Amino acid sequence: MVNWTNFDALDSYQALKNVDAVNVREVMSGESGAQRVKKYSVPMAEGMAYNYAAKAVDDDILAVLQKLSDEAQLTEKYEELYNGAVINTGEKRLVLHQLCRGQLGKDVVVDGVNKREFYQAQQDRIAKFANDVHAGKIVNGKGEKFTTVVQIGIGGSDLGPRALYLALENWAKTNHTLKMQAAFISNVDPDDASAVLNNIDVEHALFIVVSKSGTTLETLTNAAFVEDALKKAGVDPSKHMLACTSETSPLANNDKFLDSFYMDDYIGGRYSSSSAVGCCVLSLAFGPEVFARLMAGAHAADETAKEKDILKNPSLLDALIGVYERNFLDYATTAVLPYSQALSRFPAHLQQLDMESNGKSVNRFGEKVNYVTGPIIFGEPGTNGQHSFYQLLHQGKTIVPLQFIGFKDSQIGNDVVIEGSTSQKKLDANVAAQIVAFACGKDDENPNKNFDGGRPSSIIIGQQLNPETLGALLAHFENKVMFQGFVWNINSFDQEGVQLGKVLAKRVLAHDTDGALAVYSDLLEI
Ligand SMILES: O=P(O)(O)OC[C@H]1O[C@](O)(CO)[C@@H](O)[C@@H]1O
């Protein structure tokens, strides 16, 4: 059995308060910096590496972080999780998203159902469905092949799958495995659905209504919006619409859908890309083999996360360094900066993953905690970000830890040498330069041109963004967030904080308002 103890009650919490701080500028300058870049690197799954040379840690701090990991029983808690303990205390649920991509421990059986087999069976059903669509065995009302798939969902039923689709779209085109174009409708803003519908050929489109709960206002509204558009186009919606939901939701077992695929209550929305939620759209877009490769990469990262030695466990190490920065260096934000245009929506996915999971003020037993928890996450692909918000990152008063992601090869492989280097080389040169600029700064007698440096970062480096490396990246961050939640002794798997706004919006629509709500409603003429 593991002990669920508040972070500030641990001996290692006190020890971390007393460690000697590392001056990033000092240690990253000159030969010492070169040595750190070689030394402070951990292999990740799928040939990637997590390099943390430019973080404010040294061997002494790492030793205390190892103690923290052991004392807080972080890998033991992970083991409890994948063996089926009720980790989500708020909703009294198991947490099984890792089981969608492989068996990590014991069989998890609930009400006589082996959960790994259930998730695999859904993937197999989706694979058969996708193959039949691609082969022209499942066709539209006119007997013609479907060419487009549209996912209708929001939050975890949108962000992860959308980020993954965009991450692999060009890779799939290059590798001749783009079977169907995908599009996504999420916002209840009517312009979102209209713009997507205007851009596609609805007669040849399949629409997946994705909602775990089957009750989300935006998704149900958009599903009805699309149904209406299909009817107006003279198309039978039941031949074009699929459902992806939990078996207990109001959307389940509904014959207005061509077919339905299931996840369950043990998969949180923001962790659902590995379940039917991601499987459906990605298998239709790229083929089931590509989805299987994505899952293989994620499973490899899940296996690595079992390692007790923090210097061999990149997601655990990343988590612990993040905790040190958040609780002892007082850094409130983290920027995710992929030097890969394909990862354009990955920061948005991580924003939900991290902030919805760890944006909590009470521990897993509902008691207030006296320390800060999850950071604010934001980000954009480099080099675009360099010409936007990096000014503040370099010279602003707030220090923001930076998470870079970079790849040696492009996905499409089309490149030109201009002034002695390819665009890919320019991209990679920029990320290397940024890490050193942030860490080491530059003295200038003109204060306006002076860079203090000392701004910490880490980088995940891979050869190429492909299904395996993408899967490993996805799981790396899921596991990092999980480990941080364990340190803070919070429940990372519920999201009560999003409920109040939803309830009040319903009251506005029902004209049941008073006080400020009534005045705002009047201002907007609702
Ligand atoms: O899949 P559902 O049930 O429609 O939920 C969508 C999203 O809404 C939330 O519950 C928060 O509003 C997320 O956690 C979830 O990913």
Close Cβ partners of 417 (under 8 Å, ≥ 6 residues apart)? none
- Cα distances from 521 to residues 20, 190, 216, 462, 501, in angstroms, run 54, 19, 21, 50, 14
Is any ligand 1 atom within 6 A of the Cβ of residue 357? no
| Residue 268 resides in a domain | yes
| Residue 252 resides in a domain | yes
In this structure, the residue with its CA closest to atom 4 of ligand 1 is 211
Q: Are 272 and 213 in contact (CB under 8 A)?
A: no
Distance CA 319, CA 504 (A): 35
Q: Are 464 and 427 in contact (CB under 8 A)?
A: no
| Residue 182 resides in a domain | yes
Cα 326 to middle of ligand 1, angstroms: 27
pLDDT per residue as tens digits for the range 91-113: 999 999 999 999 999 999 999 99
| Residue 257 resides in a domain | yes
Dihedrals phi, psi of 96, to nearest 5 degrees: -125, 20
Q: Are 409 and 463 in contact (CB under 8 A)?
A: yes
Q: Which two tokens stand for residue 35?
A: 């040595």
Is any ligand 1 atom within 6 A of the Cβ of residue 154? yes
Average pLDDT taken over every residue of the chain: 97
- Mean pLDDT value of segment 153-162: 98
pLDDT of residue 456: 98
| Residue 525 resides in a domain | yes
pLDDT of residue 37: 98
Distance CA 281, CA 120 (A): 16
pLDDT of residue 417: 98
pLDDT of residue 506: 94
Q: Which atom of ligand 1 is nearest to the CA of 502?
A: 12
Cα 347 to middle of ligand 1, angstroms: 18
- Active-site annotation, residues: 356, 387, 502
Number of Cβ within a 10 Å radius of residue 18: 8
pLDDT per residue as tens digits for the range 23-59: 999 999 999 999 999 999 999 999 999 999 999 999 9
Q: Is the pLDDT of residue 1 over 90?
A: no
- Mean pLDDT value of segment 111-123: 98
In the chain, the largest separation of any two C-alpha atoms, in whole Å, equals: 74
pLDDT of residue 112: 97
Of 182, 188, 259, 183, nearest to 218 by C-alpha is 188
In this structure, the residue with its CA closest to atom 7 of ligand 1 is 155
| Residue 105 resides in a domain | yes
Q: Is the pLDDT of residue 174 over 90?
A: yes
Close Cβ partners of 71 (under 8 Å, ≥ 6 residues apart)? 10, 11, 12
Structure letter (DSSP) for residue 271: G
* Domain end (from 263, 292, 321): 292
- Mean pLDDT value of segment 193-203: 97
* Domain end (from 265, 292, 319): 292
Cα 156 to middle of ligand 1, angstroms: 6
Dihedrals phi, psi of 460, to nearest 5 degrees: -100, 125
Mutate to test the pocket of ligand 1, among 188, 270, 498 (most ligand atoms within 8 A of CB): 498
Distance CA 76, CA 472 (A): 21
The full DSSP string for 401-455 is -EEEEEESS-SS-----BTTB-HHHHHHHHHHHHHHHHHH-B--SSGGG-B----
Q: Are 308 and 298 in contact (CB under 8 A)?
A: no
Domain of 160 in residue numbering reads as: 98-292
Q: What is the pTM of this model?
A: 0.98
pLDDT per residue as tens digits for the range 211-245: 999 999 999 999 999 999 999 999 999 999 999 99
pLDDT per residue as tens digits for the range 402-422: 999 999 999 999 999 999 999
Q: What's the structural domain count of the chain?
A: 2
CA 133, 135, 138, 139 torsion-angle sign: positive
Before 383, cis peptide (omega within 30)?
yes
Distance CA 141, CA 494 (A): 41
Dihedrals phi, psi of 132, to nearest 5 degrees: -65, -35
Assign residue 278 the CATH number of its domain.
Answer: 3.40.50.10490
Number of Cβ within a 10 Å radius of residue 174: 14
Cα 502 to middle of ligand 1, angstroms: 11
Number of Cβ within a 10 Å radius of residue 436: 16
Distance CA 358, CA 69 (A): 18
Q: Above pLDDT 70, what percent of the chain?
A: 100
Is any ligand 1 atom within 6 A of the Cβ of residue 352? no
Is any ligand 1 atom within 6 A of the Cβ of residue 186? no
* Domain end (from 271, 292, 313): 292
Distance CA 438, CA 454 (A): 7
- Mean pLDDT value of segment 364-368: 97
Q: Above pLDDT 90, what percent of the chain?
A: 100
Mutate to test the pocket of ligand 1, among 162, 215, 495, 503 (most ligand atoms within 8 A of CB): 495
| Residue 310 resides in a domain | no
pLDDT per residue as tens digits for the range 238-274: 999 999 999 999 999 999 999 999 999 999 999 999 9
| Residue 285 resides in a domain | yes
Lookup result for tokens 């929305």: 269
Is the ipTM above a cut-off of 0.95? yes
Dihedrals phi, psi of 340, to nearest 5 degrees: -165, 115
Give the helix/strand (H/E) hosting 50: strand 49-51
